[in-house]
Amino acid sequence: MSDPRDLSLPSLRPSATELLDAAREHLVKNVLPALGDPALRFKTLVAAHVLGVVSRELSGGLAAREAIAEARDALLGEPGSDPALCAAIARGDFDAQPMAEALMAHLEFRTETALAAWNPAFLARVKAR
């Protein structure tokens, strides 16, 4: 049985992700070179970036959110939420080792997961150092 949260429809071609990617490619390859107005060029670059983010979120967003939730719950030692994690941090639950190191690893994982969708090129440059 398929996952009801899976929004992809594999029988439909092109997929939503493929359509987003095609629109982004058109903006970058065809529209941007023809734009002379710097403000319009910037806005078009932003639109192309947003299309890329949405495409990557559709491709792996659900799995990423689930992985973050599982890692957060493991860190808390029980099912929780981001506000519960913030409260635990505020209480000082992660001030001492090894909990401080575990928190840092979790926050790095969350940051890398977000960058994978929002700015994968930057993430690749940081990881290459």
Confidence band of 4 (pLDDT split at 50, 70, 90)? low
Domain ranges of the chain: 16-128
Whether the Cβ atoms of residue 103 and residue 89 lie closer than 8 Å to each other: yes
Band of residue 95 on the pLDDT scale cut at 50, 70, 90: very high
> 13: pLDDT confidence band, cut at 50, 70 and 90?
confident
Cβ(112)–Cβ(123) under 8 Å?
A: yes
**pTM for the whole thing?**
0.69
Q: What would you report as the CA-atom Rg of the chain, rounded to the nearest whole angstrom?
A: 19
Q: In whole angstroms, give the CA distance from residue 103 to residue 107.
A: 6
Cα 115 to Cα 100: distance, rounded to the nearest angstrom: 22
Flag whether pLDDT at 10 surpasses 80: no
Rounded average pLDDT over 74-92: 95
What angle (nearest 5°) sits at the alpha carbon of residue 108, between those of residues 102 and 69? Answer: 75
Separation CA 71–CA 67 (nearest Å): 6
At 60, is the pLDDT very low, low, confident or very high (cuts 50, 70, 90)? confident
| Stretch among 69-73, 101-105, 112-116 having the lowest mean pLDDT | 112-116
Question: What pLDDT is stored for residue 62 in this prediction?
Answer: 83
Pairwise CA distance, residues 62 & 65, whole Å: 5
Distance in angstroms (rounded) separating the CA atoms of residues 105 and 34:
45
